[in-house]
Chains A and B, each alone.
Chain A
Amino acid sequence: MTLSVDTSARKDRVTAHDEPPGKGATVELIDLHRRFGATRALDGLSLTIAPGEFIALLGPSGCGKTTALRVLAGFETLDRGKVLVDGQDVSAVPAQRRDMGMVFQSYSLFPNMNAVDNVAFGLRMRGRRGPDRRARATALLDTVGLADEAAKYPHQMSGGQQQRVALARALAIEPRVLLLDEPLSALDAKVRVQLREQIRALQTRLHITTVFVTHDQEEALSMADRVSVMRNGRIEQIDSPAMLYSNPATPFVAEFVGTMNRVPGHLERSGVAVMGMVVPVRGGVHGPPGTTVDVLVRPEQLMLTPAERGEAIVMTKTFLGSITRVGVLLGSEVAVQVDQTSTEAAQLELGASVELRVTATEVMVAEPWSGQIDRTIPTLASGPP
């Protein structure tokens, strides 16, 4: 009854077999409110999660995503609102009886127990007998690929190994809901990617409703069925990763998910004037012609062509594989990232003048940003890079 997840395998190669499908519970968060002193950690958060769904809570620090998770787990109380699991109100149920498995950010393994005992702990609390629970624990460790480390103690394991044990421990109790609180943040980049795939594979196979908290949008987009982008205690948008990327509901979401450029332009009757052309605005033009706005456009929605006296100058080139991200200085202050194929980009020289064009059929506009000017692309005055 083992599944050895090859860490280099892609998730679509994981095969199903004799593990019975897990219980996927329905989770409803209804109008959650919670304050810590003057801060509103949760400000009317509502969310419904379907059985077996993998939801990511994504947002900057302080947006309330961890608070929401902890409320669900039972570690925080609510000022207002309800939490329903499979239709039952669990707000009054203490954490130890909620039957949810949680994986913490780091160092949550019990230091005085080895891997097997850690994984078996939940079963022990539920009264399972010694040999019985050890067998199941060992099986789970095998599932996460750590059968050889069963007798090791946490301080003898790497970060990635510890988190895998933590995952096995959470799954041992066959929870209705699986909660993950930034479990990969403390790990090395490479381990992070491997574990991402493992977690997702396991989750798919076991069909457990899962809530995954992260501030890393790449993580969220690559793992989740739906991603909920949060800000200031509320959900800005909840959608599939593709929809979030292509159809962001607000400028915040647009900039948080993926890379987004901000280029100054002004409104016209039929769209927004930017880079010498007028582009239609998504959702229509709302404002008098002449209003200064920032145009939001993605690197792959721009095109640059070498020109004698173009309005932009190439400042940097970042090789990303098949694509090269070219940093361009528009006018004297605006830094813009443009994606070119690497073959085209190879022909561009630093300091060359180019022309920029928007290739998208429509763009989003936002209030001009009053923050600091982005100086990550050095100006010409400081000499060649």
Chain B
Amino acid sequence: MVALTVDVMTEDDRSADGEGSSRRPRRRPRVWRAVVLVVVGLYFLVPFYAALRFSLQDTQGHFSWGAFRSIPSQQGFSEAFGLSIRLAVVTTLITLALMVPTAVYVHLRVPRLRRLFDGVTILPIVIPPVVLIVGVLEVAPTQLKSTPYLLALVYAVLAMPFAYRSLDAGLQAIDLKTLVEASRSLGGRWPITLWRVVLPNLRAALLSATVLTVALVLGEFTMASLDQYQTFPVWVVAFDQDDAHVSTAVSLLALVVTWVLLLGIASLDRRQFRRSRTRTG
């Protein structure tokens, strides 16, 4: 499953705003338009409704909040959730520590490599996670295999494309070269420049990259299950045997939380984009 980043949405906004001035008389039938939207809308909303109903039932089929309320106390939940959170934190740290300097460096020193980089970050998409985990388990030393943090190390690779694209978009928007040159010419040395000039301006991109990485880790099932560690998604599937209502409730919750997080970055992105546009406009 390939997930695309939120920066694609801001591009959409850009072009949408650009052609807002052409208000042509719309003479084509609205009927088919409405039909398409309604049918597609139903397809997307009905499963939500179904899951909501199902999760609000208990095993006898009566209405109950029980499924939701009992989530934290279910067996294995806190361990699995805790593990996922720990993995998410580690993965995010690794990813950012790796990608931020690299992205900044590439932007500044070797802009020609940027094309190549776009290609490299597509690589994890070409190597499906299910295949990658086979290879990883093959070559990993036993010490690594005995810790779940091996997953974090590999998750960083999966997160690379999304992190890179967020950072790339952010760097492009702030005209990195000029900022850095201004800072250097005013006497700022590299560490200060990075800390006080570059990073603050990348806040939205960093946040975006973080959220995407966290969402990825919290939702990653394939590699975790095959590596036989019970992370959160793995627990959800396993628990389905015990009580499907709870699993469904948890899934719903996970979806809603992801949604809120992504909406959050979307609005952040849009605000930062609008700001930088008026700055250069």
Bound state CA distance, A269 and B46, in angstroms? 84
Q: What distance in Å separates the Cβ of A76 from its nearest Cβ neighbour in chain B?
A: 8
Interface size on A, residues (CB 8 A): 4
Whether A319 is near chain B, meaning CB under 8 Å from some CB there, is: no
Residues in B whose Cβ lies below 8 Å from that of A36: 23
- Taking the closest CB of chain A, its distance from the CB of B126, in whole angstroms, is 29
Q: Cβ of A75 < 8 Å from any Cβ of B?
A: yes
Q: How far is the CA of A75 from the CA of B25 in the complex (A)?
A: 8
Is A77 an interface residue, CB under 8 A from the partner?
Answer: yes
B24 CB within 8 Å of chain A: yes
A269-310: contact bitstring with B at CB < 8 Å (1 yes, 0 no)? 000000000000000000000000000000000000000000
Contacts of A76 in B (CB 8 A): 23-24
Give complex CA distance A75, B24 in Å: 6
**Contact residues, A62-88 vs B (CB, 8 A):** 75-77
List the B residue with the shortest CB-CB distance to A75: B24
In the bound assembly, the distance between CA atoms of A76 and B23 in angstroms comes to 7
Nearest residue (CB) in B for A66 is B21
Q: Cβ of B22: which chain A residues have Cβ within 8 Å of it? A: 75
Docked complex: A35-66 residues within 8 A CB-CB of B: 36
Q: How far is the CA of A62 from the CA of B24 in the complex (A)?
A: 18
Residues on A with beta carbons closer than 8 Å to the beta carbon of B23: 36, 76
Q: How far is the CA of A77 from the CA of B25 in the complex (A)?
A: 7
Nearest-neighbour CB distance to chain B for A296, whole angstroms, equals 33
Provide the B183-205 mask, 1 if CB < 8 A to any CB of A, else 0.
00000000000000000000000
In the complex, chain B residues whose CB is within 8 Å of the CB of A75: 22, 24
Q: Quick one: closest A residue to B27, CB to CB?
A: A94
A129 to chain B, nearest CB (A): 31
Q: Which of B3-60 contact A (CB under 8 A)?
A: 22-25
User: In whole angstroms, how far apart are the Cα atoms of A58 and B23 in the complex?
Assistant: 22
User: Nearest Cβ distance between residue B116 and chain A, in whole angstroms?
Assistant: 23
Q: Mark B253-280, 1 if CB is under 8 A from A, else 0.
A: 0000000000000000000000000000
Question: In chain A, what residue has the closest Cβ to B25?
Answer: A77
Bound Cα distance A36, B22 (Å): 11
Inter-chain contacts of A77 with B (CB < 8 A)? 25
B281 to chain A, nearest CB (A): 14
Bound CA span A36–B24, Å: 12
Report the minimum CB–CB distance from A68 to chain B (whole Å).
15
CB distance from B28 to the nearest CB of A (A): 13
Nearest CB on B from A66, distance (A): 9
Q: Which residues of chain A are near B25, meaning CB under 8 Å?
A: 77
Bound together, the chains give a CA A76 to CA B21 distance in angstroms of 11
Q: Would you give 6 A-B contacts (Cβ < 8 Å), ordered by A?
A: A36-B23, A75-B22, A75-B24, A76-B23, A76-B24, A77-B25
Closest 6 A/B residue pairs (Cβ): A77-B25, A75-B24, A36-B23, A76-B23, A75-B22, A76-B24
